[in-house]
Amino acid sequence: MNRRDSIKSIILGSIGASLTMKSCITQEDEILLNQVWEYNYGRTSEELKWDYKVLTGKFFSNNELAAIDKIANIILPPNENGNIKDAGVVELFEIIAKDFSTPAHNEYGEKVLRRGLIVFDEICNNRFNKNLLDCSEAEIKIVFDKIAYNDNKDEDLQEAIRLFAVYRGMVLTGYFTSEIGIKELGYKGNIPNVWDGVPPEILKDYSVSYDKEWIDKCVDQSKRNEIAEWDEDGNLIT
């Protein structure tokens, strides 16, 4: 299950645990719930309401989402391994904006993520007399080159520099925590490997060798998932 499915299953699982909210769940919600979440988990009434709000609400407008997509593709262009869309980066922005739009998070979605779009538009308007979404990729790169480095001491650009750093961090995090991003990094994690015994050159150094009968029993990769069995005398029989 990828990150996006995990987020979706957690949210839908929360909704499924509440009988009081059952009447609010659409047929589409129920179909998704039955497919991705089999078990309920403990949630308070307020938590369930919040989960439902995150699931069904919309924070960014379509134009804002398109601008985020354009920004993300400039920060991290597509390559042979994948792209921003495949990694669900824009979806991550939407989820974070909705989930963190609370007083406890100092209205992060509004004051940071949406504020970033406003500031980037202001700079583009000042430079090219049009919003970021209407600018060409080359024009946007000119703007980003001014705000991509912390050593830029221009007082008028300090807010933009801080907000761009947030966007850059979220784009990279969103991409490289996705399935395609992890594959691009070459990260394998804890996966079973194939062991076919001590290498022959090492055995030769110690003047030892394997007994063929034991090799056939112990180092047969076609039987790697079988559980070994012994007879009453301790002899390996499988």
DSSP string, 6-25: HHHHHHHHHHHT-STTGGG-
Q: What is the pLDDT of residue 90?
A: 94
> Are 135 and 128 a contacting pair, CB within 8 Å?
yes
pLDDT at residue 26 tops 70: no
The pLDDT confidence band at residue 28, using thresholds 50, 70 and 90, is: low
| Mean pLDDT across 93-104 | 83
The pLDDT confidence band at residue 43, using thresholds 50, 70 and 90, is: low
| Mean pLDDT across 196-207 | 86
Label residue 136 left, alpha or beta by phi (over 0 means left) and psi (-120 to 50 means alpha).
beta
**Domain edges within the chain:** 1-57, 58-191, 193-238
Helix runs in 76-136, H state only: 84-87, 89-99, 108, 115-128
> Are 150 and 165 a contacting pair, CB within 8 Å?
yes
- Would you tell me how many other CB atoms lie within 10 Å of the CB of residue 158? 13
Mean pLDDT is highest, among 37-51, 150-164, 182-196, for: 150-164
Token duo for residue 157 = 């650009």
pLDDT at residue 187 tops 90: no
Token duo for residue 97 = 């904006």
Nearby residues of 138 by Cβ (< 8 Å), 6 or more positions away: none
Which has the closest alpha carbon to 65: 119, 107, 114? 114
The pLDDT confidence band at residue 57, using thresholds 50, 70 and 90, is: confident
d(CA 163, CA 115): 8
Mean pLDDT is highest, among 21-35, 137-151, 220-234, for: 137-151
